[in-house]
Amino acid sequence: MSDRAVLVERFLGHLAIERRLSPRSLEAYRDDLGRFSAALAREGAADWARIGAAQVRAFVAAEHRAGQSPKTLARRLSAIRSFYRFLLREGLAHANPAEGVRAPRGGRRLPNVLDADEMSAFLALPQGGGIAARDRAMLELFYSSALRLSELTTLRWGALDLDEGLVRVDGKGGRTRIVPLGGPAAQALREWRGETGGAAGSPVFPGRGGAPISPRAVQARMKLLAQRQGLWKRVHPHLMRHSCASHLLESSGDLRGVQEMLGHADIATTQIYTHLDFQHLAKVYAAAHPRARRKGG
């Protein structure tokens, strides 16, 4: 066994004992470091302590050209960084050559959305009191105000102004925002408040014992309601938020306004919905524009 392989095994022993990693995780570390070691050996680099950032970047670039995904490359870099932190602690290296190296960014997955017709079908819940009233209020609020799941489950009646059509939301990072509340949502919430009493400090959607409803309960309920409404897409709370944002942007084109409503700290996060809007436009163009059809198609 080479000196380099011995150090890797010492590192894996450290991970197994001090961090209690699973055999599968240890095998992933062994594979990542083994590939890095083999790449260095091909270049004639024998000493871990003499490796620099340029060699780490060259390894990442070669793996990328070989078809490895950004996620896999990020994992390999994480393994190399952890290994060098171990070497530094043991006095076997003078610097961590992977510290400033970053994996290529992967293409960002676009969120799924319900179109306007699908959303209308989903929201057309049967009338009634009790849990039916709660379900209508919950779905209308999700879609009307683009709330996150955590924002909806922790919402108190005192944060709602049903007459003005506003809701105060305590979002991520302690940021508070005021967002509009549509007419159907306000009406559904009035009906639901009639069922619960609606004390200012009580949860809008209580679960067992009067505590806020759990996120898991909301997710399970939405899945069941979607099936009952004949909607067989994977429906979840964030889908409502995505759909609201996409529909707003499609109608208004106001990216800043949508950013404020969603509570995004960075407008770059909101810009993903411009890609959704463009996808919709491209489909309409391809189907309707006389010059969109390619010759021979």
Question: How far apart are alpha carbons 55 and 44 in whole angstroms?
Answer: 11
Task: Judge whether 247 counts as a catalytic residue.
Answer: no
Catalytic hit among 102, 172, 228, 293: 172
CA–CA separation, 85 vs 29, rounded Å?
Answer: 14
Q: Which of 30, 57, 238, 280 is catalytic?
A: 238
84 is catalytic: no
Question: Is 241 a residue of the active site?
Answer: yes
Among 134, 221, 247, 264, the one annotated catalytic: 264
Catalytic residue among 148, 221, 242, 247: 148
- Residue 89 annotated among the catalytic residues of the structure: no
Q: Does the annotation mark 256 as catalytic?
A: no
* Residue 264 among the catalytic residues: yes
| Annotated catalytic residue, options 4, 76, 241, 242 | 241
Cβ–Cβ < 8 Å for 167, 146: no
Catalytic residues: 148, 172, 238, 241, 264, 273
